[in-house]
């Protein structure tokens, strides 16, 4: 009789072929969201096309490195060792644009570099106050992450310019709808490995259909270089402006809350809840992303919510699948031709898959909120106010435009706003949570059984 303890599915290695295919599925799901950040920042700051391309390559490279670190782990310092995919966070978009417009790119990367060091220093202390983030807080944050990103998925499908002639084209909507339907049918009528590839199959089928519709353009592949990585400090020596540094450190704190919520969500999905030390290592990886980003002209990374949704949909729990995805991202960052191939996937195709993933994240957040005690508490009010205030930047993007730039940085993000409101309201009504945990009687009974 063997005495070897069977490994948890999270720690089981899959055959190389399956790792590669499932890893590619993760990359295709997150690619558009990841490269959107450098494209938006570069466009807003009026950088030329070649410079934006450098930012995209650096973004993919650093995201790949941090994804490998998160899933595989480095010693007992970095990485949550769960199937967590890292990518450029949208939380830093407004701060980077405002800082870049006011102080220039060297100040942007000086602030990111300092925020990375700040993240490394506070990762362990932050993980020790995890009791301040009960299911009431994390569930609300996960829900708003999914809800706030649905707008991005819809933009990929219909287009982001409502005045453009092709905006909301019926053919684009039909293509996206067919992909969503195919993903649903595959999950309903198939099992095993085929079901786990439902999103990838939907993407491939969508690309084939889009090619017949004339939506696929590989012309940029031939002009792309075979190798490319931005030299360190491409924009010159980093500059350190106090206001910029404070803003980015606030962003890092919000990223920590967002990543904590996503790590808990992944832990629930794979039935391996992260410990305090696991979360500390995961947050340290977020801090490391800031240091690497500051050096290599990239962006702050966080756990990508759409990939949390993918884990939930496919039920593939091995963290080494995500390690494979990280390796692919590194390759995309180092070989621009590969990046151009992925970039040629039409928006409606990526948007359809993203819509399912973002909505799945919302559903994961709602499921987390089932563990909250509502009877005899004000928790329903806390959730309602937090989500209501948090959705304002999504439904009314210019709502806070009269505020000073520093406040716009904070309130202009739905995730940031929700984190602040739900955290403070939970403290106001429930205290620290040690004596009045916001967990239902059903959950208590389950944990005691």
How far the first Cα of the chain sits from its last, in Å, is 30
Q: Phi and psi for 302 in degrees, rounded to 5?
A: -145, 170
CA dihedral 43, 49, 55, 56 (to 10 degrees): 90
* Predicted local distance difference test score (pLDDT) of residue 447: 43
427 located within any domain: no
216 located within any domain: yes
User: Among residues 357, 384, 421, 351, which one has the least CA distance to residue 174?
Assistant: 351
* Predicted local distance difference test score (pLDDT) of residue 424: 92
51/281: higher pLDDT: 281
pLDDT (tens digit per residue) in 326-354: 999 998 888 776 666 666 677 788 788 77
Cα–Cα distance, 405 to 411 (Å, whole number):
10
Structure confidence at residue 218 as a pLDDT band (50, 70, 90): low
Cα–Cα distance, 293 to 8 (Å, whole number):
33
417 located within any domain: no
51 located within any domain: yes
* Predicted local distance difference test score (pLDDT) of residue 109: 92
Structure confidence at residue 295 as a pLDDT band (50, 70, 90): very high
The mean pLDDT of the chain is: 80
Q: How many domains does the chain have?
A: 1
* Predicted local distance difference test score (pLDDT) of residue 439: 44
243 located within any domain: yes
**Residue-wise DSSP of 332-348:** HHH-HHHHHHHHTS-HH
Q: Which two tokens stand for residue 330?
A: 């590194």
442 located within any domain: no
CB-CB neighbours of 2 under 10 Å:
5
User: Among residues 78, 35, 111, which one has the least CA distance to residue 288?
Assistant: 78
CB-based contacts of 213, cutoff 8 Å, min separation 6? 171, 175
Cα–Cα distance, 106 to 257 (Å, whole number):
27
Stretch 107-130: mean pLDDT? 90
* Predicted local distance difference test score (pLDDT) of residue 16: 83
Cα–Cα distance, 39 to 58 (Å, whole number):
12
Given a cut of 70, whether residue 444 has pLDDT beyond it is: no
Stretch 348-376: mean pLDDT? 81
* Predicted local distance difference test score (pLDDT) of residue 433: 58
pLDDT (tens digit per residue) in 55-79: 888 888 999 999 999 888 888 889 8
* Predicted local distance difference test score (pLDDT) of residue 4: 47
Query: Which stretch of 60-64, 104-108, 248-252 has the lowest confidence by average pLDDT?
Result: 248-252
pLDDT (tens digit per residue) in 383-430: 999 999 989 888 887 888 888 766 776 677 787 788 889 989 999 998
* Predicted local distance difference test score (pLDDT) of residue 290: 92
CA angle 282, 324, 349 (to 5 degrees): 100
* Predicted local distance difference test score (pLDDT) of residue 110: 93
Q: Phi and psi for 310 in degrees, rounded to 5?
A: -65, -40
- Provide the domain limits for residue 202: 14-368
| Helix, strand counts (H, E) of the chain | 19, 2
* Predicted local distance difference test score (pLDDT) of residue 438: 41
130 located within any domain: yes
Q: Of all residues in the chain, what percent carry a pLDDT higher than 70?
A: 85
Task: Let me know: does 52 contact 228? Beta carbons within 8 Å.
Answer: no
327 located within any domain: yes
* Predicted local distance difference test score (pLDDT) of residue 357: 72
* Predicted local distance difference test score (pLDDT) of residue 435: 44
């Amino acid at each position: 009789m063997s005495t070897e303890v069977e490994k948890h599915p999270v720690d089981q290695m899959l055959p190389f072929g399956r790792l590669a295919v499932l890893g590619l599925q993760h990359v295709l799901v997150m690619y558009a969201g990841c490269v959107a950040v450098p494209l938006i920042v570069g466009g807003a700051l009026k950088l030329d096309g070649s410079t934006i391309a450098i930012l995209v390559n650096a973004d993919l490279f650093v995201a790949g490195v941090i994804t490998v670190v998160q899933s595989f782990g480095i010693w007992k310092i970095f990485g949550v060792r769960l199937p967590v995919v890292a990518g450029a966070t949208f939380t830093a978009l407004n701060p980077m644009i405002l800082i870049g417009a006011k102080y220039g790119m060297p100040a942007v990367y000086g602030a990111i570099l300092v925020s990375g060091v700040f993240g490394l220093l506070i990762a362990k202390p932050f993980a020790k106050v995890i009791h301040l983030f009960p299911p009431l807080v994390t569930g609300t944050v996960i829900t708003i992450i999914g809800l706030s990103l649905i707008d991005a998925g819809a933009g990929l499908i219909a287009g982001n310019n409502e005045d453009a002639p092709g905006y909301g084209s019926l053919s684009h909507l039909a293509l996206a709808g067919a992909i969503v339907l195919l993903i649903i049918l595959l999950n309903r009528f198939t099992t095993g490995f085929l079901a786990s590839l439902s999103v990838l199959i939907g993407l491939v089928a969508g690309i084939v259909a889009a090619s017949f519709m004339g939506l696929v353009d590989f012309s940029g592949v031939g002009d792309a270089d075979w190798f490319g990585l931005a030299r360190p400090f491409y924009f010159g020596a980093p500059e350190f402006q106090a206001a910029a540094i404070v803003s980015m450190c606030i962003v890092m704190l919000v990223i920590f809350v967002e990543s904590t919520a996503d790590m808990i969500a992944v832990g629930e999905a794979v039935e391996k809840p992260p410990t305090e030390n696991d979360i500390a290592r995961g947050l340290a990886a977020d801090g490391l992303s800031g240091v690497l980003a500051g050096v290599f002209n990239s962006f702050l990374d966080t756990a990508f919510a759409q990939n949390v949704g993918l884990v939930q949909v496919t039920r593939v729990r091995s963290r080494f699948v995500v390690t494979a995805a990280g390796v692919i991202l590194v390759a995309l960052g180092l070989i621009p031709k590969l990046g151009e191939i992925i970039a040629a996937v039409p928006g409606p195709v990526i948007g359809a898959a993203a819509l399912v993933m973002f909505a799945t994240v919302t559903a994961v957040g709602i499921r987390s909120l089932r563990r909250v005690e509502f009877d005899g508490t004000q928790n329903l009010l806390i959730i309602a106010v937090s989500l209501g205030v948090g959705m304002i930047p999504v439904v009314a993007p210019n709502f806070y435009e009269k505020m000073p730039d520093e406040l716009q940085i904070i309130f202009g993000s739905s995730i940031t706003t929700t984190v602040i409101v739900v955290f403070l309201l939970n403290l106001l009504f429930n205290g620290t949570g040690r004596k009045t945990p916001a967990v239902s009687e059903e959950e208590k009974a389950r944990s005691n059984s």
